[in-house]
Amino acid sequence: MLIELGELVAREVQARTNRDARAILERLGSLALGQEVDEEPIEHQVLRASFLVERKRIRAFDAAMEDVASGQAGRIDFKYVGPLPPHSFVGLEAG
């Protein structure tokens, strides 16, 4: 019985994490030219992603990020780093 309860709690935590990640991606992704999502974030992370943002949209992106973070204050801690070189969006082809 306790194992079933633990599995139920684990499934609900994962479902909530997935909902939170989708909501964050929807809000921020609309301001970006592209996004790269790490399919296996580190344990206890909701989302690990890179966003390719045009220079002229950085302020709007920053404001949206602040809005998302303040809306989740006390529930989700955000680590937001940037701008950085767009290394996550560079692909190399063997030729």
Note if the pTM is more than 0.75.
yes
Separation in Å, CA 82 to CA 8, 36, 67, 79: 37, 14, 17, 10
- For residue 40, the model assigns a pLDDT of 77
Give the three-state DSSP class for 76.
coil
What pLDDT was estimated at residue 67? 94
Residues (pLDDT < 50) of the chain are none
pLDDT for 95: 64
